């Protein structure tokens, strides 16, 4: 089956190089593959593979998973409302999600090459900054909720 070419009008600010790139990235109409429940099952399998790979290869993911286990125990033990308990756990899950995204960025950058490049370093630094922001947010959330019940 031949994929039909899509005739696209580009804005005036897009130059010839961008047009060439954009024409290579047109949607793959008629792309063969799984649909429906079969696609969902396959996607779930890939997600589980990703979790296993992150856990195996990334120390930070293992540390933040351990943090999540501790948070589950503490949130269960603390005398807080159900909404506060969910919030306490959600911010730690957020840290884990951001760490998974950061690990994916690092893996792609490392795949591109081992030589130092400013953009590669910037991508890794920005990913790391996202993890830091999530950790600070989680820390302040825990401090506010636990502190409002036990310290002030």
Active site residues: 99
The structure tokens 């047109």 sit at 26
Annotated binding-site residue? 149: no
Annotated binding-site residue? 122: no
Annotated binding-site residue? 60: yes
Judge whether 88 and 141 are in contact, CB under 8 Å: yes
Annotated binding-site residue? 117: yes
Which ranges of 1-152 would DSSP assign to H, the alpha helix?
A: 16-24, 36-57, 59-77, 82-112, 118-150
Identify the burial level of 95 via C-beta atoms within 10 angstroms of its C-beta, where 0-12 means exposed, 13-18 middle and 19 or more buried: buried
Give the tokens for residue 2.
């031949």
Annotated binding-site residue? 118: no
Annotated binding-site residue? 64: yes
- Binding-site residue positions for a divalent metal cation: 58, 106
- Binding-site residue positions for ATP: 39, 46, 58, 106, 115-117, 124-125
- Binding-site residue positions: 39, 46, 58, 60-64, 77-80, 85, 99, 106, 115-117, 124-125, 128
């Amino acid at each position: 089956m031949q994929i039909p070419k899509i005739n696209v009008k580009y804005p005036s600010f897009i130059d010839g190089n961008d047009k060439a790139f954009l024409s290579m990235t047109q949607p793959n109409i008629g792309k063969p593959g799984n649909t429906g429940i079969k696609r969902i099952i396959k996607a779930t399998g890939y997600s589980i593979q990703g979790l296993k790979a992150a856990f195996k290869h990334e120390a930070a993911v293992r540390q933040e998973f351990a943090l999540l286990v501790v948070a589950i125990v503490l949130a269960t033990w603390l005398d807080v409302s159900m909404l506060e308990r969910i919030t306490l756990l959600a911010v730690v899950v957020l840290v884990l999600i951001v760490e998974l995204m950061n690990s994916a960025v690092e893996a792609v950058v490392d795949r591109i090459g081992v030589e130092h490049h400013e953009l590669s370093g910037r991508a890794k630094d920005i990913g790391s900054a996202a993890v830091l922001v999530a950790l600070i947010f989680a820390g302040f959330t825990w401090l506010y909720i636990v502190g409002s019940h036990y310290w002030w």
